[in-house]
Structures are given as structure tokens and as C-alpha cells.
Amino acid sequence: MTGPAAAPPTFTPGPDAMAHLELILNGACPLPGFMTASETASVVKRGRLPDGTPWPVPVTLPVPDELVGAERVTLTDAEGAPLAELTVSERWWAGSLPWRVNGETSGHRLAGEVHLARPPVHGVYRSLRRAPAEVRGSREIGALAHRPMLAVLTDRPLHHRALHQIRTAIKEVGRGGPVEVLLLIDAPFDDEGAVPAVLAAEPLLPPRSRFAVLTLPRAETTDGIAPPEGRTELLAAHVAAAYGASHLLINRDPDQPPAVPVPGAPVRIVAPAAWAYDIRAGAWRLADRVTAGESRSELTPTEVEDLLGRGETLPAWFTSSRVSAELARRRPARVRRGLTLFFTGLSGSGKSTIARGVADAIRRSGRTVTLLDGDVVRRMLSSGLTFSRSDRDLNVRRIGYVAAEIGRHGGVAVCAPIAPYAATRAEVRAMAEDTGDFFLVHVATPLEVCEARDRKGLYAKARLGEIPEFTGISDPYEAPGDADLVIDTTTATEAESVATVVEALRAGGWLPRMAG
């Protein structure tokens, strides 16, 4: 007799593959699972599957080496709950794709059908992550399926310009008749994104507008090669069609090129009307009706962030008070916003000493601060980890996770690990910026100065080979190119270095200005 079959290995897909998986499971993507090599090649080259079915972007599942031989794989959410089971039909190496797919351009892929294990529960605003069949069914029950439906895809708030564009599109689509409106809000799984700000604009939308939250995969460029023109718009059009839309309007920032009709789209992509604010009339008007020199365009995201960071109210000509209040809630003034202050540098560079001094200054300013020093974290949070590259990366990620949680609740986390690798620092930045702000300080004290100090005798041991993989001696330190502040403690005193960092935080708005 043979024993019971071994349980398949589990795997949590990356963000883009997870987005594809949910689109497959909810029916927005008309595929049974992840693509084979030939299917991917056909889609990349022609925008069609080998059988001629139109589909604009590859749907692939990147996996680590240890899963290449698996026959079945249980795909889970970030918390480990099973979502689906993949029956592997092909294992293939992606080679070099012409643009970044699922966050990378090469690596192992598994192809095959996926079967739902249980309905997903992960992701914020889960109650609004409505399946296409649910939306279509509710329209049919209400005898509304005969009406045209305008889907509005947005991953940003609906300011006055966007609301005017939606109203103009409704008139164009309906030609005087009633039109259903569906807001498709593209938001990350683990973050509320623009959802609250979009919902805040509901009173300004047509009555009974519907909302559905989804997560679309990102097709990024690599080496300057972008996806063929129109592919991202086509993906949005296919998803909108699955929800029963007849037309699609894509809301973009004013500094981005507008989405325009694309040949082969399953629904008509409506080109947004150009609107501008008429300064003299004090109203938004179609841009071609505003006299040159008397108009102004919508604020850019950078301008919005700057106003919010200073604690200022967004102007009424730009957005509604409800949307403004929601954005202010999510992005309070920097002096009240969570912050990860991250020091990186060689051992002996002075980063821990400076970090302690800066933490004291932040505390005196009245802000809540937590110091996550590298050595202390090693003892309290990462006890048992070695100094291998993988364990050092894990230590830094743990620091980043704790710092991000501190930032989520409005606190300041001051971190001072060596953090020698750029990729890991980028992960920490991403975690921190999901919940607050991130400020990177490179303590760029030269190696020879750090080694001369060597109060712990570590460099001497590394030179003798007693400490393997020691940063700066037998392992590299990747100097950051994205530091917000660079300081060198070779000649600067501790007090001078602390003052430099504190003044940078005050200038950025994270600390209150001194009275007088």
C-alpha cells in the first residue's frame, strides 16, 4: 500500500502575479491559468494567444528554483491562506523579455490551470472587490443591462477636472439618454490607495454610480523599452468589458498622456475632454473656451503633496472639500506624519552616535520617537541570525517592518544598521512609504577613517580572516545613490553632524521650526 500523497508545496506569488491570479479567479481575465512559453511569446509579439484570442499582456508566474520540479503548487495570500491550486503543465525559463513582466525580465516560470481553493479574504476594501459576474448580474436584475455603461478606471482621487471629464463622457456615451457609471478603483492589495478619496467624491458623481476595487498588474519598462503602445490601455479595456462596460474612461494625472481609443479594444476607450480652470470666470471650462493666459491646469501630484506636507488646505478651485479632507487624513502635515529616518554607512562611520543624538533632538521637539540601532536590534529582534548575506538582509527587513509599523501610527523610527545592499534598502523604503515617509542619511565616512577608529576591533579581525563577509573588507558596501542627505564625520563633530540632520528634518517639515 502506498501512503497518502504528499501535500503540494505552498507559494505566495509576487504583487503582479497575485494581481493576475485574482483577475483569473474572478473571471476578469479569460484564461484558465498562467501562460506557457509559447503563449507568452505570442502575446508579447502579437497581442494574441496562439489560437488568435486577443490578450494584451503576458500572464506568467515567476517562481524560485526550489519549485521548478513541483507537479502542483498551492498558491497562498500574504498571510498563508490558500487561494488556488496550480496544476503544472509546463516549466520554462523566461530568458530576456522585451519589457519587465511581473517585476522581472528573466527567471523560472510555471504554467498551468489554477483552481479556486477558497474565496480570497486578503486585501483592503475586500467588500468592494466585486467580481465581474456580480456587477453584471446586479444590472440584469435591475433591468439596466440595455443601458450603456461607462467604466472609469482610476488609481488617483477624482478632482474637479476628472469629474468634469466624466460628465462630458457621459453625455457623449449616452447621447442624451441614461448611462450607468462604474468606478473601477485600482488599488494595491495591502494598502487602501486612492479608494477613500475616490469614495469621498461619490456625492459629486451621477446617482447610483457603482464602485469596484481591483488590482491591475504593472507592465514596467526595462532598459528603456516600454510595452508596445496601447497594451496597458487594452488590458484595462478587457477588464472593463468583463464587468459589462460598453465604454472606458481612464483617469490620469495632467502631466501624463491621456488614454485614447486603441484598435482592437473590446470596449470603446473614450478620449477625455481637455478642461482648464478659467481664472477670470472662477470656473472650470472646456480648455478651448478659455482665453490663453487666463487658465491654469490641475495641480500636479508633487504640488498636492507639498501643500499637504505643509499642512495647508487644498484650494477649492482644484478639488472638493470632501476629497481634500480625505487626502489630509491620509497625508497629514509632515510634522504629524510617520517617518522612518534611516542611517546607513560602514561600521565605525559614526551613524549610531549621530542617530542617538538625532533621536534625542526629535524627542525634545515633542514627537514620539523609537531608536532602532543595529547592535540593539541584533540582540533583541534578530537574535539567532548569522552575518551571512541572507541573514543580514533579513535583519534589515525586520528593522524596516518595525519602522513602517511605527510610522503607520504617526511615530518616528530612527534606524542605524549598516544596510550595505541597495536592493534591501529599496525594500525598506517601499515598506516605509506605504505607511509614512522615508528619509535616507548616508554617513559616508571613508573606509580608512572607519578602520582607524575600529573601537570594537572588528576590522582587524576581518583583515585576519576571522570574520568572513565583513562589509568594506571582504564584502561590498553599495553606496546609496538616492540618499536624501550625505554627511562625513571625518572632520565634523558629533554635535555638528546631529545639527545637520536635525536642520534637514526641520526644512522638510518633519520637525517644527524653532520659535523666533
> Which DSSP string corresponds to 173-205?
HHTTS--EEEEEEE--TTS-TTHHHHHHTGGGS
> Residue type for 164, please?
H
**314 and 306 Cβ atoms separated by less than 8 Å:** no
- Percentage helix, strand, coil for the chain under 3-state DSSP, each rounded to 5: 35, 20, 45
Please tell me the distance from the alpha carbon of residue 483 to that of residue 486, in angstroms, as a whole number. 7
| C-alpha–C-alpha distance, residues 317 and 36, integer Å | 51
Neighbours of 330 (CB within 10 A): 15
Q: Give the 3-state secondary structure of residue 83.
A: strand
State the Cα angle at 211 between 27 and 134, rounded to 5°: 35
Cell numbers 510634522 label which residue?
335
Dist. CA 362–CA 496, nearest whole Å: 16
Q: Judging by DSSP bridges, how do beta strands 369-373 and 339-344 pair with one another? A: unpaired
| Residue for grid cell 489560437 | 51
* Inter-CA distances, 253 with 121, 169, 232, 333, 505, Å: 31, 17, 16, 22, 29
Q: How many Å apart are CA 143 and CA 432, to the nearest integer? A: 47
C-alpha cell at 260: 485614447
d(CA 124, CA 442): 35
Element (H, E) at 485: strand 485-487
Is 407 part of any known ligand binding site?
no
Grid coordinates given for 273: 475632454
The strand pairing partners of 214, in sequence order, are 186
Q: How far apart, in whole angstroms, are the C-alpha atoms of residue 394 and residue 57? A: 33
Which residue(s) pair with 369 in the sheet?
A: 412
Residue 351 annotated as binding site:
yes
The verdict on whether residue 347 carries a ligand-binding annotation is: yes
The rounded distance, in Å, linking the Cα atoms of 100 and 106 is 9
d(CA 419, CA 396): 6
For the packed helices 321-330 and 301-309, what is the interaxial angle rounded to 10 degrees? 70
45 appears as a binding residue in the annotation: no
- Contact of 11 with 98, CB cutoff 8 Å: no
Instruction: Cell numbers for 325, please give them.
Output: 479632507
Answer yes or no: is 345 a known binding residue.
yes
Sign, Cα dihedral of 110, 111, 112, 114: positive
295 is in an annotated binding site: no
Strand partners, 154: 185
27 is in an annotated binding site: no
Which residue ranges make up the annotated binding site?
Answer: 345-352
Which residue ranges make up the annotated binding site for ATP?
Answer: 345-352
